[in-house]
Amino acid sequence: MIKITLKDGSVREAAKGTTIREFAKSLSHKLAKEAVVGKVNDQIQGLDYAMNEDCTLEILTFEDEDAKRTFWHTSSHMMANAIMRLFPEAKFGIGPSIANGFYYDIDLEHRLTDEDLRELEKEMKKIAEADQPLTRFEKPREEALKFMGDTKENYKVELINDLPEDAVISFYEQGDFTDLCAGPHLSSTGPVKAVKLLSVAGAYWRGNEKNKMLQRIYGITFPKQKMLDEYIERMEEAKKRDHRKIGKEMDLFALYDEGPGFPFFLPKGMIIRNELETFWRKEHAKRGYQEIKTPLILNEALWHTSGHWDHYKNNMYFTKIDDEDYAIKPMNCPGSMLVYKRKMYSYRDFPIRMGELGQVHRHELSGALHGLMRVRTFTQDDAHIFMLPEQIKDEVKGVIDFIDDVYKMFGFKYHIELSTRPEDSMGSEEDWNRATDALREAMEEKNLNYVVNEGDGAFYGPKLDFHLEDCIGRTWQCGTIQLDFQMPQRFDLTYIGSDGEKHRPVMIHRVIFGSIERFIGILTEHFAGKFPLWLAPVQVKLLTVTEKFNDYALELKDKMEAAGLRVEADLRNEKIGYKIREARNARDSYIVVIGEKEQESGILPIRSSKVGELDPMPVDDFIAMLLEEIKEKRC
């Protein structure tokens, strides 16, 4: 018998050689039915994996992220298998799981159509129905090269050539298809019950513009058809909420071919932006932040000192001034270092909190650009907190509370990920461990749940990433708290301690919105353009039935604007139905129709963009209601 320790700490005994599937059945038939994979000693294994020694075990259902990743990774192999059957001339690149589904990059002369995707779906369903087992085998490097070379899979050969010479290369075999892959995978193709191939896009091999453009097929699968139906319904809702569509209809921002990835904010979009920035300034002032502004362009030497040159230069833009090399900043932190270094601080001065609405520029591939969500220039709502080592936890907890206050105000739920040291990092293991432990302890002291995202930290320190959830269940990574022991060392930042000696401060990098542009995009989709009143570009739209009521409408407009409201009056000689439709399409917060009855009585009919028709009310009551809604920042 072997001992199996479950997630809750309980220990069960089982016969040696018991599979995860068999063990799950012994616990619950429902669990066995819903199980996707198991995690044995923190390693993902298929349900047919036999446990032969004492171990820890988690049985994961599709709700678990590790299970989804494995499910979708296996689905990418199934799609590749289907492609091989229908297009035997295709050559395969990579096929990973992603946040929502999977993709595979293929080299194929035939341009794939929607009809091709439907045929591939049918073939994938046949592969699923066959319940083909996935079997792992390994080969030494040279044998692996010959094996892939014989199949003329030149992209796989290139990947193998990049591995160490002593590497043992793993493959997965599934029916008539074999793929180079590290795994893990499902035990078989059978659990994949619902398939949807979503789109085809161009993708340079290995993300390099100098390489060949491949076709990237995106797809998603589920263990139940009902899950796929719900997903498609959410995607249809997402299309209606697309910030690019709504932004155009509301005239908020524009994207031009003359500046790909460089958005133009229009007057109404600037209202939203300015309101967010005003809110940002007030909230930071309340919490003891000082605002600074640092230049867009700084000498290249600064970026060598900061480490960006070694770790980030492929994402940067450069220029020459007076025959010297300069960089357009991709991040605000080196400028904050210079602001700190302008004078010597005492330990009594800490913590020092510097906030900056800093514009940055980062090079993104043209295929990755997406409205306001992925751009080449954006404004980070940045802050850098310099502190004593003993202040770390309190400052981290203070930022967590700040982020929580902001997200709750907009009605967002969120979860937190702790991202740890990446391969491409700088600094000692000791510093990284200190920083990671400090973030972990701060969350545990606040009784916060979090997941660990191994290897996804910034190159200079671990971080907490805040993933907010919008009203249709999508998640967006916005806020982040990065703890940094490295830059204070690289910039030789010091302070005078209580002992009269120089010491090194610790710093936090943090954002809450993430970027103003992206946050506006998220808000646009979350509220479907019907912004909270305090952000809405047009808070009241006055519509006249005929031109003879224009003077009264203008009087109302003046009175409302004097109270601080943003008001537009549509005085055109158009049918009132047409004016109402236009105001609704523009998502104006409150619509008021003015005719003879309203002019004589001063009682206004009111339509809210969010709740529909309201009871008529006097002008002063209406203004008071709106001002209260704005003051409370209701969603």
Of 61, 81, 107, the last residue of a domain is 61
The answer to whether residue 366 scores a pLDDT higher than 90 is: no
Q: Is 121 helix (H, G, I), strand (E, B) or coil?
A: helix
CB 435 within 8 A of CB 464: no
Using DSSP's 3-state secondary structure scheme, residue 235 falls into helix
Q: Which amino acid is at 262?
A: F
Q: Which tokens is 312 given?
A: 């980030």
pLDDT higher than threshold 90 for residue 149: no
The Cα–Cα gap between 525 and 368 comes to 19
What is the pLDDT, as a whole number, of residue 574?
Answer: 93
| Same domain (yes/no): 575, 612 | yes
Name the strand (E) or helix (H) holding 416: strand 413-419
User: What SS3 state is found at 49?
Assistant: coil
User: CB of 439 within 8 A of CB of 418?
Assistant: yes
Supply the pLDDT for residue 458. 79
Whether 306 is in a domain gets the answer no
Q: Which residues contact 167 (CB under 8 A, 6 or more apart)?
A: 141
Task: Say yes or no: 553 and 503 in one domain.
Answer: no
Reported as a pLDDT band with limits 50, 70 and 90, residue 208 is confident
Residue 247 in any domain: the answer is no
Do residues 559 and 496 both lie within one domain?
no
Q: CA-to-CA distance for 536 and 589, rounded, in angstroms?
A: 7
8 and 80, same structural domain? Answer: no
Answer yes or no: do 13 and 135 share one domain.
no
Count of the separate structural domains present in the chain: 4
Over residues 617-622, the mean pLDDT reads 96
Domain of residue 518, CATH code? 3.30.930.10
Find the mean pLDDT for residues 406-419. Answer: 93
Residue 596 inside a domain? The answer is: yes
- Look-up of token digits 């060392």: 489
Contact, 417 vs 453, CB < 8 A?
yes
> What's the average model confidence in pLDDT over 426-444?
87
- Is pLDDT at 150 greater than 80 in this prediction? no
The answer to whether position 251 is within a domain reads: no
Residues 505 and 484 sit within 8 Å (Cβ to Cβ): no
> Is residue 543 within 8 Å of 570, Cβ to Cβ?
yes
Dihedral sign from CA coordinates of 92, 97, 99, 102: positive
Structure tokens at 184: 């893990």
pLDDT per position as a tens digit, 59-103: 999 999 899 999 999 999 999 999 999 999 999 999 999 988 999
Higher pLDDT, 169 or 539: 539
- Cα angle: 434, vertex 438, 441; to 5 degrees: 135
| pLDDT number for residue 15 | 92
Query: 157 and 72 in one domain?
Result: yes
463 close to 508: Cβ distance less than 8 angstroms = no
Same-domain check for residues 452 and 597:
no
| Residue 75 CB coordination number (10 Å) | 28
Mean pLDDT of the chain: 93
Nearest to 251 by CA among 235, 271, 234: 271
> Does a structural domain hold residue 308?
no
Radius of gyration for the chain, computed over Cα atoms and rounded to the nearest angstrom: 29
Supply the pLDDT for residue 164: 84
Give the single-character DSSP code of 611.
T
One-letter amino acid for residue 497 of the chain: G
The two three-digit tokens of residue 441, written as one number: 């302890």
Q: Which pLDDT score, from 0 to 100, does residue 336 have? A: 95
Residue 225 CA to residue 192 CA, distance in Å, equals: 10
Q: Which two tokens stand for residue 115?
A: 């009809």
Q: Over the stretch 88-97, which tens digit does the pLDDT of each residue have?
A: 999 999 999 9
Examine the domain organization and report whether 452 and 601 are in the same domain. Answer: no
Give the model confidence (pLDDT) of 516-541 as tens digits.
Answer: 999 999 999 999 999 999 999 999 99
Q: 45: domain range?
A: 2-61
End-to-end CA gap in the chain:
58
As a whole number, mean pLDDT of residues 280-285 equals 97
Query: In this predicted structure, what is the pLDDT of residue 428?
Result: 82
pLDDT at position 592, please?
97
Would you say 326 and 318 are in contact if contact means Cβ atoms under 8 Å apart? Answer: yes
Say what percent of the chain tops pLDDT 70: 100
Question: Angle CA(42)–CA(45)–CA(48) in degrees, nearest 5?
Answer: 140
Count of Cβ atoms closer than 10 Å to residue 574 Cβ: 12
Q: Count Cβ atoms below 10 Å from residue 424 Cβ, excluding itself.
A: 10
Cα separation, 233 vs 246, in Å, equals: 19
Q: Is residue 248 part of a domain?
A: no
Do residues 387 and 491 both lie within one domain? yes
Q: Which two tokens stand for residue 302?
A: 């600064």
Give residue 510's pLDDT band: very low, low, confident or very high (50, 70, 90).
very high
* Pairwise pLDDT comparison (204 vs 560), residue with the higher score: 560
Q: What percent of the chain has pLDDT over 90?
A: 80
pLDDT band at 433 (very low <50, low <70, confident <90, very high): confident
Write down the pLDDT at residue 7.
87
Which range, of 463-467, 590-594, 625-629, averages the lowest pLDDT?
Answer: 463-467
Within this chain, do residues 288 and 207 fall inside the same structural domain, yes or no?
no
Q: What is the pLDDT of residue 4?
A: 93
Question: Per-residue pLDDT for 311 more than 90?
Answer: no
- Using CA atoms, how far apart are residues 421 and 457, in angstroms rounded to an integer? 5
Q: What is the CATH number of the domain that holds 582?
A: 3.40.50.800
Indicate the pLDDT class of residue 8, thresholds 50, 70 and 90: confident
Can you give the pLDDT at residue 132? 95
Which amino acid would we find at residue 449?
A: N
Q: Would the pTM of this model clear 0.95, i.e. be above it?
A: no
Give the C-alpha separation, 245 to 156, whole Å. 40
- The answer to whether residue 211 scores a pLDDT higher than 80 is yes
325 within some domain = no
Contact yes or no for 55/20 (Cβ under 8 A): no
How many helices (H) and strands (E) in the chain? 20, 36
Domain membership flag for residue 312: no
pLDDT in tens, 222-274: 999 999 999 999 889 989 999 999 999 999 999 999 999 999 999 999 999 99
Chain centroid to CA 81: 31
Query: Which residues are within 8 A (CB) of 432 and not within 5 positions of it... i.e. 6 or more apart?
Result: 420, 421, 425, 461, 462
Which are the catalytic amino acids?
A: 333, 362, 380, 382, 384, 463, 509
Res 460 pLDDT > 80: no
Q: Please check whether residue 518 is in contact with residue 372, taking contact to mean a CB–CB distance below 8 angstroms.
A: yes
**Is residue 517 packed enough to be buried (19+ CB in 10 Å), middle (13-18) or exposed (0-12)?**
buried
Q: How far apart are CA 95 and CA 76, in angstroms?
A: 6
What does the pLDDT average to over 582-603?
95
pLDDT at residue 323, as a whole number: 92
Q: Which residue has the tokens 């104006």?
A: 588
Same structural domain for residues 146 and 216? Answer: yes
Helix or strand run (H / E) with residue 436? helix 429-445
Residues 580-595: what's their mean pLDDT? 96
pLDDT band at 634 (very low <50, low <70, confident <90, very high): very high
Tokens 């900043």 identify what position? 329
Give the pLDDT band of residue 307 (cuts 50, 70, 90). confident
Q: Kindly state the average pLDDT of the residues 603-629.
A: 96
Assess whether 507 and 606 both reside in one domain: no
**Last residue within a domain, chosen from 466, 499, 526:** 526
